[in-house]
Structure formats: structure tokens, C-alpha cells
Structure 1
Amino acid sequence: MQLFSFLSILLTAISVKARPVERGVFDSVGVLDDVLLLDAPAFPDPANSANTVIGLQAFVSLRQIDLGALTTGVEAALKTIGLDIGDKLSNVQERIRLFGAIGLSGKNVKVDVGGCSQLASLTTSGLPDLGMALQNVSVGTCGGAKQFTAQVTTSGLDSRTFNATVFPSPNSGFGVISDIDDTVKVSNVLDKVALAKSTLLDDPVPVTGMPELYASLAKSLNSPQFIYVSGSPFQLYPFLNSFIDTTYSASKGPILLQNLTLTNVQELLDFANSNGILEYKLAMIDRIHGMYPNKKFVAIGDSTQKDPETYGEAFRKFGGDFISCSWIRRVDGANNTDARFAEAFQGVPANKFRTFTDADIPGLQNINVAAGEC
């Protein structure tokens, strides 16, 4: 069965609970609300380099979620493709929780970033990105820490905390743009049943050798800004963020995910079928270029979906001073033909990209990327 059919059943089960709720504009976050504050990149303010701008993103939803009905629907959907939840109930409930969240528009999210002189404020949007807020916000002058903690300010009646990490980086030096699924995490994108299993049931597994490779890049490139760009929906953020924080602790960084909500079903189905991922990832690279136009980025991905085409197009748009090198993992069963890579990297010098197998991963640590090798 195709993942399209699986997600159609899953969405039917979820959409019963996930009805949009409108709120008055500029409502504060209260005890009846939940907030997902995502880790964020930070960069020097182009208008005043002494100040820092943060690309903040938050999702505000109703606090109460009925996981019982939602779990039942997901369990039934998994059974149609031959999967049984078994003893993985806690994993499933943790990963589907945000799919049942009811987003709230017009919520004013105030964020205090430790070490910075100004509070940040952003407001959640209405349809189609109900409950989501994404904005570049100046927070004034900040200290010289490698990371900052951002915290949503809530009313005095609410003792909960909603925190995220801010990763500041100068508009110079190196960075790494990385895919997640089948690049750093085994997701089995090409096997639809295995993909559902790895996403909803199993504990995440890294691609062998990639944590060590990323730790090596973190050292040799002098603490580059790692940014993970994935076509997955933001509802999977807690799962993916926990995986990056623990398995890739030496190369932590913000994760950029698609702002898909259950009121925009077609976009989620497009994600499941790999449609729209090229455009989405190119848009995210545009956003990254806007933050760090003078950084040199190593772009790392795999051959299952559109990473070669994405990085080739980004090179043609911004040049080799921005996308200094592209590495593509050859995944068994994907289109790994020379013709595909030649077309994807048309116009890109041969010494600006490479493809690699799993056996090649340890040797990638010996490439002196800082000196211009690729």
C-alpha cells in the first residue's frame, strides 16, 4: 500500500479532532494554551551589526488533546499496512500528539532570550498556517555565548516553561546545511511501510558513521552553524529535535520543517509523495542565504528524494562562495545513475560536489573542507 493511502486514513482519523479555532488578535498565551517553541538560528542585524536578529518560530494550540481517539485511529491505519503498535504505544502517542493539536490564531507570543537586551514578540497566524508564527525579530545586543536560551513568558498563574535554544553565528566562516531522513537518520523513505514504522514506532537510528562525521566537521570548520532542513511536517519536531540533540550533540542546530497543518491536507499529502519538497527546500536555502549571505555552506543530503536537485539549483543561484560543497549519500534502491547526478549538478564544477556510499563515510573526515576541498 502506498503511503498516500496510509496518510489519507491517518488524516481522516486525526481531522475529526483537529478543528481550527479562531481567537481574538493579540491574546496572550494562557494556562489553556500549549506552546511549541522551536530552536532558532540567530544572525547579525543587517541594519546594525551590534544587534542580533533571531529567526523565531512558535506554534500555539489548545492545551487539551484527546489522544485516546487519535491513537485508535492511528492504530487502525497502521494495521491496514501490516503494522501493529504492540509495546510501542508510548512512542506512537508522543509522535502523533501534535497532529491532534488545535492551532490558535492571533496569539501574542512573548519570548525572553537570555543574554539579550530586548524581548521578542510574534503573533500566530490564521489559515492556512493556523497557530504558527515565524518571524525574524531583533533582540538588541546579546552576549558572546555560543548558545542562548529562549523562554516564552506566561502569566503568573502558569508555572510551566516553554524553552528553546538559540544558535547565534556570524555572517562569515562555515556552515552546514543537512537533510535528516536517510542522511543522518535511518528512515527508509523508499519503503513506505518501513518509513511509517521508523517514524511512528521505532526508536530512531543514525546512519552509521554520520554522527562521527558531523562531529569532525564541527571541529575542523571551527564550530560552523549547523542547520537541518527537512521536508517533514513540524508536528514531528519534538521527535526529530530530541534525536539531533542526543545523537548529534556535537553538531546541534536549528531544524527547519514544513509549516503543514491539518487544515492544509493537500500539502501533507504532497510531503508524503515527495511533491513540493524541492520548492520547499529551495525556499529554506533562500532564507538561510538571507541570514548568512557571506557564509560558506557544505550541503549534505541523500539520493532518495530531491537533495541533488536542490543543492545543484542553489549552487547555480548563489554560486560556489555560498554552496561551497555538496555531498550526496547514495541510498540503495534510489536513482543513483550518473545521468541523474549529471543533470542535477549541471553547471556545477565537478570538484564542488561528490556522491558517497556508506563505506565512504569514514573517509569523508579526511577531506579538508576548510581549505576548499570537497
Structure 2
Amino acid sequence: MINKILLEILYRFKLTFSKIKLKFGIKTGFVKSLMIAPYKGFGSREKVYLIGRVLKDRGIGLSEISDSRWKNFSKMYKRFMSWEIPNVKVKATINGDSWIAETDDEGYFEFFINPKQPLQNTTPWVSLELELIDQIVPNQGKVNTKARVIIPTKDVEYGIISDIDDTIVPTGATRIWEMLKTTFLGNAHRRIPFPGVAAFYQALEKGTDGKENNPLFYVSSSPWNLYDFLTEMMSVHGIPLGPLMLRDLGLSREQLIAGSHFDHKLSQVEKIFELVPDIPFILIGDSGQYDPEIYLQVIKDYPGRVKMIYIRHVSEKRKETVLHVKNKMKSLGVDMLLIEDTLKAAEDALSKGWIREDDIQDIINEKIQDGLNNS
């Protein structure tokens, strides 16, 4: 009871401080331009989910491979020292119809859109218009942007859900100092994926017909502050883009810092399963932070929806536990492959008829090139 009261006091103090800071920033002209930061959404032709944030325009821009550690740190500082705009209305428009959402205390807005007519998309990506309705700063002008949501087409074969840290890129997520150094002093060009990952994910996106219709989703315990950093990293290295489901690490009424890694990732994976119904999924993760246990729970909650699980072996300490989870999955009719090499997962996917043989050579070539670049 005392802890709950203390948490409420701390949270109210945080809100008061944020309001005073924002009011001061607007009055002094430090906050003079705003931005809508949409995060890629997803759903079906009948329901669309989109989340985003209204912030002071940080002017971060794209990185260069030659950027110094100080410049990288400066940009990362801006990402985390954000100015959130609470309690303002954002309008989303698609096919001439509009919906309104209001930002919360942290500047986040969330849309669950039920189009009046089912979307008739022939390609996976659909665009929405977003516009800030409220006037917040002097001479604000129009604040608007486009958002993209991925809607599986009739040609979809399966979806892919992947972790990021130590699954796509080595980050040392189980070694805090190594992870902090990589995050704050590096940039999108210097975050190098595991060899062959980009070509493998491209092959999964193309499936067997080569049409790039299979949607990819990324679920991570990284904070939303890193969203643009992660999407830039994927774009730079040729990893197919898709919705990123991250989390807010700040103080809230319910928690001092962040909820558990397990609960966050499980809830986000299951949100994808709920909003993207009727298609099976390949799940990809690593052995370091409970991905196998999370995916086991997904198998139990959504029987028949998981095609395969690929787990990158990064933790010798957890190997016995992971193999035990693998046996439980097997008893439920789902295979899990523990790999140290992306090519092994690709060869397995090829043997099951999920990717094209032509794409295997691309994965081999990329793996060789990545190995040369990292040597």
C-alpha cells in the first residue's frame, strides 16, 4: 500500500514537472516546432492498429558512417531527452474517413480503426494521413505526416515475427555495459547484423512466389525512443521494414521503470496474432532473454498458428533450459531449431518449402561478404 502511494506521488511529481517544463519551453521559444512521430501500424482489412507520439521536433536526421562517437551520443541524448506533448488531438484519415485520438501523459496516441468498408489493398502497405488538430505553439502552422500500416494481401503465405537484440544484431543484451556502449556511441551504420540475416529475412518476405507479400514484425524490449534509430539501421543494412513493437521505459502509475521483458513481448506478439488473423507465423528469437519461453506460451494460446521457431544460440548458460522448452514445443506439434548460423535456419526453411532455392545463394553470398566486412 505504501509503495503504491509513493508511486502515485512520484508520478504526479513527474507530470507536474513535465507540464512546467513544456509551458516554459513554449513561452521561451525553446519549443517552437512540433512533430508527429508515427510508428508503422498493422492489422487486417477490417481493423487497423496504429501508435505514435507527438513531440517537439528534435531535428535528429539520418546518420553517416563517418559520424563521431560524440555526434552519435548527441543524437541519442536528443532521443531520450524528448519533449512530449500530452492531451492533444490527432486526426487519422484513410479513404476519406477520419478518426480522432488524444495523446496521453507521455505524448502517445493510439488508434484502433474499423474502416467503414474493408480495405481493398493489392500491396501490403497502406498509407494514412495524420494531422495535429490542436494549436500548441505560436505560429504553429500545419503539423501533419503520413503513416504506413501493413495489411496482408490475399497472396500472403505466412507472417514473420522477430526479436531484434542478439537475434538480428549482436548487442550483448545480457551484458548491460556492452549494450549501453553499443547503443549510445554507435549509429545505424555501425550496428552490423549477424551475417546473412538481411538476405534471409528478404527470402522469408518473398516466400515461394517472390512477391514480397509476407509481412515482418519486430518485437523488442527496447524503448520507443530508439524507434527511428532501429528503422534506420534496418534500412541501411537491407533488412525488410515492418512494424516495431517497443515499449515505454518511464515511470507510470503502475510501475517505477518498466514492466517485465516477458510480459511485454508476450502481449505484443499476441496483439499481432489477434489483429492479423487467419495466417500462420514463423517466430525468430534468441536464447538469451526468454524468447523460447515466450514463444511456447504463444503456441499454447494460439494452437495451429505457429509454423516454426528459430532461436539463435547466444547463451550457453541457458542451453539446457532452451532444449527443455524445445521438447515442450515438440509435444505441442511445433518444431524449434536452435542455431548459431543464419544459413542453418535458411536451409531448414528451404527444406520445408517456405523460401526459394534461388534465395539461398544470396544468403550464402551475403554471409561471406558480411564475414569479410567484420573480419
User: Normalising by the residue count of structure 2, what TM-score does the alignment of the two structures yield?
Assistant: 0.73
Matched, 1:131 2:102: no
Letter in 2 for 1:102: W
C-alpha deviations, 1:35-92, integer Å up to 9, x for none? 21111113121xxxxxxx3211011234479x9xxxxxxxxxxxxxxxxxx9312222
Q: Is the 8 A contact 2:36 2:143 kept in 1?
A: no
Determine helix, strand or coil for the equivalent of 1:293.
coil
* Correspondence 1:14-163 to 2 at 5 A: 19-21=17-19, 32-45=33-46, 53-63=47-57, 87-113=68-94, 116-126=95-105, 130-141=106-117, 142-144=119-121, 145-154=123-132, 158=141, 161-163=144-146
Letter in 1 for 2:223: P
Determine helix, strand or coil for the equivalent of 1:162.
strand
Matched, 1:324 2:307: yes
Measure how far apart 1:309 and its partner are: 0.3
Q: Which residue of 2 aligns with 1:165?
A: 148
Structure 1 residues 216 and 121, CA, compared in 2 at 3 Å: closer, same or farther? same
CA RMSD across the alignment? 3.4
Determine helix, strand or coil for the equivalent of 2:89.
strand
Letter in 2 for 1:312: L
C-alpha deviations, 1:229-258, integer Å up to 9, x for none? 111111111111112233244x32111111
Q: Is the 8 A contact 1:18 1:102 kept in 2?
A: no
* Correspondence 1:354-365 to 2 at 5 A: 354-358=337-341, 360-361=344-345, 363-365=347-349
Measure how far apart 1:122 and its partner are: 1.6
Determine helix, strand or coil for the equivalent of 2:318.
coil
Q: Distance in 2 between matches of 1:181 and 1:255?
A: 12
Q: Which residue of 2 aligns with 1:9?
A: none
Aligned structure 1 segments of 4 or more residues deviating by more than 6 angstroms? 15-18
Structure 1 residues 59 and 316, CA, compared in 2 at 3 Å: closer, same or farther? same
Q: Is the 8 A contact 1:21 1:103 kept in 2?
A: no
Q: Is the 8 A contact 1:301 1:307 kept in 2?
A: yes
Q: Distance in 2 between matches of 1:353 and 1:263?
A: 36
Q: Distance in 2 between matches of 1:212 and 1:334?
A: 29
Determine helix, strand or coil for the equivalent of 1:206.
coil
Measure how far apart 1:211 and its partner are: 0.8
> What 5-or-longer segments of structure 2 have no aligned partner?
1-12, 23-30, 61-66, 134-138, 356-375
Measure how far apart 1:204 and its partner are: 1.3
Q: Distance in 1 between matches of 2:243 and 2:275?
A: 13
Which range is displaced more, 228-237 or 139-148?
Answer: 139-148
Q: Is the 8 A contact 1:18 1:262 kept in 2?
A: no
Determine helix, strand or coil for the equivalent of 2:246.
strand
Q: Is the 8 A contact 1:149 1:163 kept in 2?
A: yes
Q: Which residue of 2 aligns with 1:220?
A: 207
1:246 to 218, 222, 236: 236
Q: Is the 8 A contact 2:249 2:258 kept in 1?
A: no
> What 5-or-longer segments of structure 1 have no aligned partner?
1-14, 24-29, 46-52, 68-85, 271-275
Measure how far apart 1:99 and its partner are: 1.7
- Equivalences, count: 313
Q: Is the 8 A contact 2:283 2:309 kept in 1?
A: yes
Q: Distance in 2 between matches of 1:313 and 1:345?
A: 14
Q: Distance in 1 between matches of 2:96 and 2:15?
A: 41
Which range is displaced more, 303-312 or 255-264?
Answer: 255-264
Q: Distance in 2 between matches of 1:312 and 1:234?
A: 26
Q: Distance in 1 between matches of 2:232 and 2:58?
A: 23
User: Normalising by the residue count of structure 1, what TM-score does the alignment of the two structures yield?
Assistant: 0.73
Identity %: 19
2:293 to 298, 309, 312: 309
Q: Which residue of 2 aligns with 1:341?
A: 323
Structure 1 residues 117 and 163, CA, compared in 2 at 3 Å: closer, same or farther? closer
Q: Is the 8 A contact 2:44 2:277 kept in 1?
A: no
1:231 to 197, 221, 225: 221
Q: Is the 8 A contact 2:34 2:55 kept in 1?
A: yes
Q: Distance in 1 between matches of 2:140 and 2:54?
A: 18
Q: Is the 8 A contact 1:31 1:157 kept in 2?
A: yes
C-alpha deviations, 1:86-130, integer Å up to 9, x for none? 9312222222323212323221111334xx33233221123xxx2
Q: Distance in 1 between matches of 2:42 and 2:49?
A: 6
Measure how far apart 1:162 and its partner are: 3.2
Which range is displaced more, 86-95 or 297-306?
Answer: 86-95
2:262 to 278, 286, 294: 278
Measure how far apart 1:263 and its partner are: 5.1
Q: Distance in 2 between matches of 1:87 and 1:16?
A: 33
Letter in 2 for 1:33: L
